[in-house]
Amino acid sequence: MPRIFFLDTGRLHQETYDVLQQLRRHYGVAIEVYCPAAEAVEALVRRDGPNGFYEGLDQRRACCAVRKVEPLRRALRGADAWITGLRRDQAPTRRDLRTFELDAVHGGLLKINPLLDWEHPRTLAYVRHHGVPVNALHDQGFPSIGCAPCTRPVQPGEDLRAGRWWWEQPEHKECGLHVKRPVATATGGAFR
């Protein structure tokens, strides 16, 4: 049976929570919400401070591991496959992805990327044509949205994910959800 899940990192923009509610109402579907373990967040903040992720790649990856990667692991428990919204045009780290992959990081699950070859204009046209609820931040210059302290609007001429972890190099702009192998600091929908 297909399930839809949402990873609530505890640091998201209010507009992200607003669109979650809109999606529930618009489609009349249940959306499972997965949050980070409170003890893990407390330990992370005690060690690095509330914004320690700005201090280095290892600290940022540790934050993402606690707030995103571990909740995703729980969300995928018992699943045979998961579907993502990844697109090649989003980042250099996504150019070599395939539509169907075995996700070794998440136990060999089938990972399906049906939008992989869609480009940003096609995605926007589809959303508008079909009345899909969208995050209000998209109209404020945020083509890619993550946690509030790690996301800023992009400037003219910047790539679509330039606003994510803007202080890092493009090859490091993945949080650990979509990597081929586990990140050293690291500890869509799914089908059961």
Active site residues: 175
What's the longest Cα–Cα distance across the chain?
47
- Rounded Cα gap, residues 150 and 168, in angstroms: 11
HEC string of 8-36 equals CCCCECHHHHHHHHHHHHHHCCCCEEECC
Q: Decide if 87 contacts 94 (C-beta within 8 A).
A: yes
